[in-house]
Structure 1
Amino acid sequence: MTERTITSKEIVNAFRFRHATKEFDPTRTISDDDFNTILEAARLSPSSCGYEAWKFLVVQNREFREELKEISWGAQGQLPTASHFVIILARTMEDTKYDSDYVRNQMINVQGYPEEVFEQIKGSYKAFQEEGLKLLENERTMLDWAGKQTYIALANMMTVAAMLGIDSCPIEGFDLEKVQQLLAEKDLLEGGKLAVSVMVAFGYRAGEPKREKRRKLMEEIVQWIE
């Protein structure tokens, strides 16, 4: 069996196809195979130091979505109509600090480093967090760093969805404190080890975009240094 090669034109067309879908066709559901492919794109995404400091909540419960809708002004059209709705969480400083139990488990049991090797490279993580990016100045700085990683996964999920002909919409329009509180009440934050980063909805558009996609010219945003 010959594997099919994706062409450059198909990749660009997928990016042209993708738009921030405000309302989906509620009668259409993404297949399990396709949505698992989208989740696999998230799982295989790169992250700083290989920490994978994220978690993905797939919210299919309609009552839960209604609760979210009350405190997510930017998801009023998506929450009731999306085939799948995902809240992406970032790990807090308790887990992402270089000497945490989470990091030790991630490096030894997930990445497969021998314990003695981990002990050697832990010093590099310490220097990176303390001196390189000065991440340990406060908990918010560390959370913002972890949040940056979640956006890599977010972008990969949306790109893969577009290549499958599936629409999406990234969502930052929500009351952070209230969403955080709601998830804490439902015991979804692992006792404070997770925090809300961003949301994203997936489905099939109810109608075509009202505006043509517009972007700056390549020469306006790219500078070659040779």
Structure 2
Amino acid sequence: MNNVQIVNTAQKKKEILDAYAFRHATKQFDPDRKISDEDFRFILETGRLSPSSVGFEGWKFLVVQNEELRMKIREVSFGGQGQLPTASHFVILLARKDVRYDSKYVEYIYKNIKGLSDEAFKQIPSAYKNFQENDIRILDNERTLIDWASKQTYIPLANMMTAAAQIGIDSCPMEGYNKEKVTAILKDAGILDEEVYDLSVMVTFGYRAAEPKHPQTRRPLDEVVEWVH
């Protein structure tokens, strides 16, 4: 590695860590500042490109810009009182329920997205049956399978928030809502097929209305990390 590469790498590391330091759970956004279409497409793209367990991509992103719908969700979301009326963009991450090894969706992913032939795909269901049934035990009931898919959605969630921070855009992930009531609102609006999707987590994006009152705090690295040699 030459000196230029060393400098560039050090600069990139600093930029990434600066983005993590910049990011905070923004409770109030500036309602007059909107994220450009180009910037928000970039944020969504980092979510789309996120990894998932065995490549199933068991998620869907609902970008809710309808103000009336946002306010209905706000009524049943104690964690979104300041964010939902002021955020530039609001995303609901849904988890797929049909991520079983033998589902039509998994067949679609491997044949239509990954490009496997019929012959090559024949090995996939049996391999992932053992993985899901015995290795990680997520076929015990419907809830364990959905919870597994829901965990996957937190990967694009984190990637989108970090990518946003790197270009100076704020965010706030939200779990503070009544799941049953938000699900009913989305179903009534005709944008949630409950046979296929389950509500996982929500996130708002925009520009902070004010700087945080307190600096970011985290436990020290040596308390978080244990090395095993």
Do they superpose with TM above 0.5?
yes
Structure 2 residue 192 is matched with structure 1 residue 185: no
Query: What pairs with 1:109-128 in structure 2 (closer than 5 Å)?
Result: 109-128=112-131
Give secondary structure in 1 for the equivalent of 2:122. helix
Structure 2 residue 14 is matched with structure 1 residue 9: yes
Report deviation, 1:191.
Answer: 4.6
Structure 2 residue 210 is matched with structure 1 residue 207: yes
Q: 1:23 aligns with which of 5, 19, 28?
A: 28
Report deviation, 1:31.
Answer: 0.6
Once residues 203 and 182 of structure 2 are traced to their aligned partners in structure 1, the CA distance between those partners, rounded to angstroms, is 14
Counterpart position of 1:43: 48
The C-alpha deviation readout for 1:112-164, integer Å capped at 9, x for no partner, is 11111111121111001100111011111111100111000000000000001
The C-alpha deviation readout for 1:80-128, integer Å capped at 9, x for no partner, is 0000000000001xx1111111110011001111111111121111001
Q: Which amino acid aligns with 2:173?
A: P
Counterpart position of 1:220: 223
Report deviation, 1:4.
Answer: 10
Q: 1:105 aligns with which of 102, 105, 108?
A: 108
In percent, how many aligned pairs have the same letter? 56
Query: What pairs with 1:64-143 in structure 2 (closer than 5 Å)?
Result: 64-92=69-97, 95-143=98-146
Report deviation, 1:190.
Answer: 2.6
The C-alpha deviation readout for 1:19-41, integer Å capped at 9, x for no partner, is 00000000000011110000000
Structure 2 residue 166 is matched with structure 1 residue 163: yes
- Which consecutive unaligned segments of at least 5 residues does structure 2 have? 1-7
Counterpart position of 1:194: 197
Q: Which amino acid aligns with 1:24?
A: F
TM-score by length of 2: 0.94
The C-alpha deviation readout for 1:145-187, integer Å capped at 9, x for no partner, is 0011100000000000000100000000000011111112222
Computed over aligned residues only, the root mean square deviation of the Cα atoms, in angstroms, reads: 1.4
